[in-house]
């Protein structure tokens, strides 16, 4: 898929399909994170849908896009907590295993008062198997999509959606938070690999080596976030002697972080929204603009306490 820096049609909202994890997050705000064997009383609590793809979907919808989330929730009563939160924030939820009786994954989250740092304990998508007939029908869910975001937490779901997107020419953005075995199969289907600070490929001990290897795999665009550090980006563009690599970095707004839970997910949601607005893989002419926009949205998120309070601080949409 070629880089695309031409202006896109702005007459309709961008449509993003997101595939991945949905959890029920039980969030406690604490003065200090408890150590082993410790107990502490929280100063506040919240219940919300969580997971990288789910938080990114909320962000896409908040920015004016149409967000369709492909995930696993099932019919357990706890699943309704996550489903109701997502629906309230205008996310279209497609539950690929609606008759699953087991509870959805529940994440125990603690957020520290003084700096917004968080700790998370979660089963993620462990123990969830998707039958072949479910995977075979997923291509229809991509009809009209302008971009896809994957978090890799349901491996078979990620590969099926990425394969369908590649066949349709829809750009695929990967939230690369940590190495997962499925990435061996998934990475060749990715157009934009958005790496977290600690993401490494096996046998590549540092960030630059990983980024170079991702480009060698054939991924056109690679980004790497690092908390308050500038976001690095690199992308391939046609040159006189073949594809050449262009790279740069974009500073992150200086803000006082009060809650970092899901900040990376928000960043990825803003990035895929920008990719969908362009309706193509961004080249060096537009990629820095998309990164700066994602930086701004993530800065809004970390300034506010709570999973969803930050949405009220986004600029009003026309």
Residues 58-112 pLDDT 10s: 999 999 999 999 999 999 999 999 999 999 999 999 999 999 999 999 999 999 9
Going by their DSSP bridges, the two strands 23-30 and 44-50 should be labelled as antiparallel
pLDDT tens per residue, range 206-263: 999 999 999 999 999 999 999 999 999 999 887 776 678 999 999 999 999 999 999 9
How many angstroms separate the CA atoms of 91 and 228, rounded?
Answer: 29
Burial class (CB in 10 A: 0-12, 13-18, 19+), 146: buried
Distance, CA of 109 to CA of 122 (rounded, Å): 9
pLDDT band (50, 70, 90) for residue 7:
low
Average pLDDT over the chain reads: 94
HSE toward the beta carbon, residue 10, CA cutoff 13 A: 4
End-to-end alpha-carbon separation of the chain, Å?
A: 32
- The CB density around residue 62, as the number of other CB atoms within 10 Å, is 24
Go through the domains of the chain in sequence order and give each one's CATH number: 15-122+130-223+272-280 (3.40.1190.20)
Pure H helices in the chain = 52-62, 77-88, 132-136, 155-168, 183-186, 207-217, 263-278, 287-302
pLDDT in tens, 158-196: 999 999 999 999 999 999 999 999 999 999 999 999 999
């Amino acid at each position: 898929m070629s880089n695309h820096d031409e202006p896109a049609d702005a007459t309709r909202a961008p449509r993003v399909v997101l595939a991945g994890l949905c959890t029920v997050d039980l969030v406690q705000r604490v003065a200090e994170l408890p150590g082993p064997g410790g107990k502490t009383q929280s100063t506040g609590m919240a219940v919300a849908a969580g997971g990288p793809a789910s938080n990114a979907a909320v962000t896409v919808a908040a920015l004016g896009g149409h967000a369709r989330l492909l995930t696993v929730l099932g019919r357990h009563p706890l699943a309704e907590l996550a489903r109701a939160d997502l629906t309230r924030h205008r996310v279209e939820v497609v539950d690929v295993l609606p008759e699953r009786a087991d509870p959805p994954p529940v994440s125990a989250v603690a957020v520290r008062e003084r700096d917004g740092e968080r700790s998370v304990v979660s089963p993620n998508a462990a123990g969830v198997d998707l039958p072949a007939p479910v995977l075979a029908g997923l291509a229809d869910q991509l009809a009209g999509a302008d971009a896809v975001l994957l978090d890799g937490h349901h491996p078979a779901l990620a590969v099926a959606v990425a394969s369908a997107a590649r066949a349709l020419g829809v750009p695929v953005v990967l939230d690369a938070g940590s190495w997962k075995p499925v990435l061996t199969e998934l990475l060749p289907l990715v157009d934009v690999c958005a790496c977290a600070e600690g993401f490494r490929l096996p046998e590549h001990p540092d960030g630059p080596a990983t980024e170079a290897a991702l480009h060698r795999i054939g991924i056109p665009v690679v980004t790497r976030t690092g908390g308050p550090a500038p976001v690095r980006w690199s992308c391939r563009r046609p040159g006189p002697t073949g594809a050449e690599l262009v790279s740069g970095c974009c500073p992150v707004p200086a803000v006082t972080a009060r809650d970092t839970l899901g900040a990376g997910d928000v960043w990825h949601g803003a990035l895929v929204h920008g990719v969908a607005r362009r309706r193509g893989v961004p080249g060096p002419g537009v990629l820095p603009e998309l990164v700066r926009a994602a930086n701004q949205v993530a800065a809004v998120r970390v300034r506010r306490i709570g999973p969803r309070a930050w949405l009220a601080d986004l600029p009003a949409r026309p």
